[in-house]
Amino acid sequence: MEFMEGGDLRALLDRFQQKRKPRGFDLDKARIALQTAQALTFLHSLDPKVLHRDLKTKNILLTSDLEAKLSDFGVARKYTFTSMTAEVGTSLWMAPEVMLGDRYDTSADIFSFGVVLSELDSHLYPYAEARMTDSGQRVPDAALLQLVAMG
């Protein structure tokens, strides 16, 4: 097992937010995104394919040079069309079909990767700035999940 002295990506993004580092992509963030995409590509190219099923910034670990490694394969599974219906993962990163208990495939990991890309860009948790139009209050997580599940 390799020690990842850079911690996880979520902690790095929290530090960026605290230091008011400009949002958007720079070379380091682009490299982290590319390395994460390469890890997913590898998993999805195996025979049978492996679905991570819990991709999020806390499960992307970093070296001191910001080299990214995918971690936490506790709910990862080999893909079988007949069995991929379990609702697993972390809700705010979960694809709609997973939330609904429908069949899913590697595209569920790609949805989660899209959420990670949004976090890399904004430094914020998914949907952190979602507000209700009438009151301006933050949209509760349960309502967000319902909206995501509806597509």
Mind telling me the catalytic residues?
54
CA separation for the pair 41, 117 (Å, rounded): 16
> For the range 146-149, what are the long-range contacts, defined as Cβ-Cβ under 8 Å and sequence gap of 24 or more?
148/94, 148/96, 148/99, 149/96, 149/99, 149/100
Asked if 52 and 43 touch (Cβ cutoff 8 Å), the reply is yes
CA separation for the pair 71, 145 (Å, rounded): 24
> Using CA of residue 30, residue 129, residue 96, residue 98, what is the dihedral sign?
positive
